[in-house]
Structure formats: C-alpha cells, structure tokens
Amino acid sequence: MVTTYLEAIRQGIWEEMERDPNVFLIGEDLGVYGGAFKVTKGMLDRFGDKRVVDTPISESAIVGAAIGASFMGMRPVAEMQFADFISCGFDQIVNFAAKCRYRWNAPVPIVIRAPNGGGIHGGPYHSQNNEAWFVHTPGLKVVQPSTAYDAKGLIKSAIRDNDPVIFFEHKALYRSVKDDVPGSDYTVPIGKAKVFREGKDLSVITYGAMVHASNEAADELAKEGISMEIVDLRTLLPIDEETILTSVKKTSKALVLHEATLTGGVGGEIAARITEKAFEWLDGPVIRLAAPDTPVPYSQPLEHAFLPNKAKILEKARWLARY
C-alpha cells in the first residue's frame, strides 16, 4: 500500500504497541493533540492515557522518565517535539542512557524520536541536523530513514532493540515521500545501509532528505552519460562500513553528502574511512558537500542558499566525474 513517510512511522509505532503491552509513548502534546506533526493521532483513544503520556515541557524529564521506565521492563518511545530541543535532555542521553550497558550490563530499551531538518522555514531553533552529537557517543544507536518503507521497518527495529536508539525523522519528508509499505509485520535491520540507486561512475554516500536530492541529481546526470550510485546509510551509528567501501571500490570516486553543517559532521568520519581503507581504489579526491557552518536561516531564500540541493550536488558530481 502506498504510504507517506509520516504514516509509515505511525503504523510502525501503532503495530508495536499492539504487539507488546510494555511499549508506551511519552512526550509533549502526544495525546489529545496527536503530536505536533500528528504522528500519534488516535493513539490516546486506542491505548489510553497510561500508554500515551503527555508531559510538561521538559525534555530532561521526558528522557529521565523513559530511562527509569526501561529499567522496570517497559519500552518507552519518547518524542522530542523538534530535534533541536534534544539538547535539554543531552546529559540524560549521553552520560546515563548511553553508558548503562557498559557500566553494569543494564539494557536501556528506549527510543528517542527526533524530528529534524530544514526546508520548512523553521529557523535556527526548529531546523537543526544534530546527529553528529550522538554518533560521537558510544552506547547509542543512531538511525535516520529516507523512505517510508525504511521508516516503518526501522522504527519497529528501534522499539525492539535493547539499547537506546536516537531515531531522526526528517520533517520535510513527512508528507512529501511516499512508497509501497507492506501491511504485514516486517523490520529493517539497524546498522545496515542499502544501495538506493546503482551506478558505476561515482558514489554518493548520504542519508535522510539528501537521498532524494541525490536521486534527482542522478536523473539529470544520467542524461549526460554519468552514472551515479547512491548509498543510503539509514543507520549512522553503527556505520555500515562494508557497504560504503564496496560502492567506492566499484566506482572509484566518492562524494559524501549531508544536510548538517560541514565541520565535525558525519561526512568527515566517512571520508576518513574511505581514505584509510579504499585509497588504492580512488581515482579522485573524496569530496564533501554539506551546509555552511552557520545556524539555519529563517528567511526562505537564505535557507535555500544554506541547504545542499540538487544544483549543488550536480556541481560537485560533475567536477568529480571529470577529474
């Protein structure tokens, strides 16, 4: 059935709540309001206020309560209304949830949903891509799907996982991306990338909304005789190094792309691994494309200039193809 990215996430959560009575939701405006983006619409009526828990505006309390509940055998799905606000619960996530398995082998089966990304003119406090903070934290798993199929399969895997999972959902994809999503139960494995589009002349390594921008660019490049392969990471921690290196060894050229700002981003880690482990196969430099090192602008034309897009991908890809 053709389903939106948003509805796929909603279906995945709903199915897991039906399957496991220990799964519950906690966050701001999840119940009566149905969530800021309506992902949890109808869940209060179906599951009741013991399993759809509205909270005060306190991300630290939301995460702390989720961690405590997980110690008691529950499987909480906590929502940060916008990924930007996750910083208010940062200490709970990186200094407690991420370290419990290491310190005394205690599972922390929580999912923290984090709607992220630009393209909606939300300004500097509602548009960030802050995944790199968490990719640098051992003990966490970090996921960001780009398709409706993967969104449903990965949210189900995240809920079933015994480690804390940060689940990034790109807001611009919620209603713009649709694909065929099975009604039957299925999961997508955490830690496994996929080749979104086969190609032979260069590889673009990316995730989230940039998968679709890359695909638009690849259609244009194909008219010029340039075949671009797209690797969709899907999971950012742990990184699927094997799939990345296999693609780069095949095409001999790599463009690493993300919407987040350039310095300290996930792309630097991927570029380093390619350079260290596939250098002999490279026929050109590993290129990075990301947003500039500024806050996300509120102004529509400035935001457009700030974000990576099809035109910028084409410029980098053509240069690399000619190299």
Q: Look at residue 36 in the predicted model and tell me its pLDDT.
A: 95
Q: Look at residue 216 in the predicted model and tell me its pLDDT.
A: 98
d(CA 179, CA 2): 5
Q: Look at residue 159 in the predicted model and tell me its pLDDT.
A: 98
Domains 2-180 and 194-322 share a fold: yes
Spell out the domain ranges in the chain: 2-180, 194-322
Q: Is 126 a catalytic residue?
A: yes
- H-run or E-run covering 115: strand 111-116
- What tens digit of pLDDT does each residue of 127-166 get? 999 999 999 999 999 999 999 999 999 999 999 999 999 9
Q: Flag residues of the chain having pLDDT under 50.
A: none
86: Cα within 13 Å, side-chain hemisphere: 25
Q: Look at residue 83 in the predicted model and tell me its pLDDT.
A: 97
Answer yes or no: are the C-beta atoms of 192 and 168 closer than 8 Å.
no
* CATH architecture of the region 194-322: 3-Layer(aba) Sandwich (3.40)
Q: Look at residue 275 in the predicted model and tell me its pLDDT.
A: 97
For 173-224, the three-class secondary structure string (H helix, E strand, C coil) is: HCCCCEEECCCCCCCCCCCCCEEEECCCCEEEEECCCHHHHHHHHHHHHHHC
Q: Look at residue 193 in the predicted model and tell me its pLDDT.
A: 98
Tell me which of 126, 170, 212, 258 is the catalytic residue.
126
CATH class of 2-180: alpha beta
Q: Look at residue 289 in the predicted model and tell me its pLDDT.
A: 98
